[in-house]
Homo-oligomer: A and B are copies of this chain.
């Protein structure tokens, strides 16, 4: 089957396809938000569509008709992934139970992300739901393993375990009492909650089409439930992310969208399929932890907020004074107090700090350092271990308080 991008209502386009030809379907219909979605900033082209239906039943009828049409073209071992948000996800899943059967439900995938915030009397919505349904008992499913989390005790996992006659499992040892390794471990099996960063407003991957999904999300779905050379269908292809993902992963694809602009965009994207780099995707959020452990430990004892991306400031005090922030820096190992104060002062001045606090790891002797004329807004406080050390020394030398 050749790759195809169709313009039109997917109901009509699907009718032209033969039965049992598709191996995986990713369905990202308009949400039931009752708003018009537009995005005009990036490209000159303005993309827009309406999420407006008269009622929930009308929306569901619209969707059910199309899901049924999709089911007709799915192979017996094919799977469907339907992407929805909180407004209608429950009704959609009930509908999917009707179409595919309650027992054909495989997984409820929660896509979580962090997002710009707002103030409202509810929790900040930061997830969307993807329902996975199979078209038959025997469906394609590839095990995917992710790296172990950092808190896992890897040494222990690598040890061999056996069940003793009483049914308890225990780690086994050889005659010398040494542990026995268990061979290679594959990692943690993929769970049904996926923490994938939202497609950032500034990402190059953005096409200017509203509702664009991150490539990584769709790629993971294709890898999970299809093989190379199989056929992927997206009846609401929008900016064409699914087709691009299929192309990059050597799958065939059929993309359908009602909007000529979307179809044009998809074709354009496919001519030069780009997977953009994302620092947070590639390296994980841990990569942004710039502060050494001993600094974090000290800051954890204070009512502050950590600052990860400023080389002069390590934290901000929770409360302001006279509308100005109080900034904090911890002297680094091997760093002179002189240098620490300089960096703190520079960074603090830029932020119009009310006060700048340096937590010193060594004795602070302004006279010796020639720093006696520090501005009064710079405060040097000795760290707890340092103070204890001094007190112990005093005790040893027999000097009274």
A residues in contact (CB < 8 Å) with B? 56, 86, 89-91, 93-94, 97, 102, 106-110, 112, 114-115, 117-119, 121-127, 132, 139, 141, 143, 147-155, 158, 178-179, 181, 183-185, 187-193, 224, 280, 283-286, 288-289, 294, 297-298, 300-303, 305-310, 313, 316, 319-321, 323-326, 347, 350-352, 355, 357, 359, 376-377, 379, 381-385, 387-388, 391-392, 395-396, 400-401
10 closest A-B pairs by CB: A150-B288, A90-B93, A123-B192, A126-B191, A90-B90, A107-B123, A297-B300, A124-B191, A121-B141, A112-B193
- The answer to whether A179 and B309 have CB atoms under 8 Å apart is no
Which chain B positions have C-beta within 8 A of A224? 123
Q: How far is the CB of A166 from chain B (nearest CB, A)?
A: 10
Complex contact A320–B184 (CB within 8 A): yes
- Asked if B150 and A189 make an inter-chain contact with CB atoms under 8 angstroms apart, the answer reads no
The answer on a CB contact under 8 Å between B384 and A150 is no
B149:A285 contact, CB within 8 angstroms: yes
- Name which residue of chain B comes closest to A138, CB basis: B121
- In the assembled complex, the Cα of A395 lies from the Cα of B56 at a distance in Å of 62
In the complex, A121 Cα to B223 Cα: how many Å? 14
B153 and A298 within 8 A (CB)? no
Residues of B within 8 A of A387 (CB): 381-382
A235 to chain B, nearest CB (A): 22
Q: A395 — which chain B residues lie within 8 A by C-beta?
A: 355, 376-377, 379
A323 with B376: CB separation less than 8 A: no
Q: Which residue of B lies closest to A125 (CB)?
A: B192
Number of copies of this chain that the complex holds: 2
A63 CB to nearest B CB, Å: 14
- Looking at the complex, which one of B102, B192, B325, B379 makes contact with A126 (CB distance below 8 Å)? B192
A118→B144 CA distance, assembly (Å): 12
Give the chain B neighbours of A381 by CB distance below 8 A: 384, 387-388, 391
Please indicate the chain B residues that have their CB under 8 angstroms from the CB of A383 in the complex: 301, 384
In the assembled complex, the CB of A227 is this many whole angstroms from the nearest CB of chain B, namely 15
20 further A-B contacts with Cβ under 8 Å, apart from A154-B306, A185-B305, are: A86-B108, A90-B91, A107-B123, A112-B112, A119-B189, A122-B141, A124-B189, A124-B192, A126-B192, A149-B285, A151-B283, A158-B351, A178-B352, A181-B323, A297-B300, A301-B301, A301-B383, A302-B388, A321-B396, A381-B387
Q: Which of A351, A359, A388, A396 has the most CB of B within 10 A?
A: A388
What residues of B have a CB within 8 angstroms of the CB of A350 in the complex? Answer: 179
Provide 17 A-B residue pairs closer than 8 Å at the C-beta atoms, listed in order of the A residue.
A86-B108, A108-B127, A110-B112, A112-B193, A122-B141, A123-B189, A123-B192, A124-B190, A124-B191, A127-B193, A150-B308, A151-B283, A154-B307, A155-B309, A181-B325, A357-B388, A376-B401
Query: B110 near A127 (CB under 8 angstroms)?
Result: yes
Q: Contact: A285 with B150, CB < 8 Å? A: yes
A131 CB to closest chain B CB (Å) equals: 9
In the complex, A347→B124 CA distance in Å?
A: 46
Cβ-defined partner of A189 (8 Å) among B117, B189, B376: B117
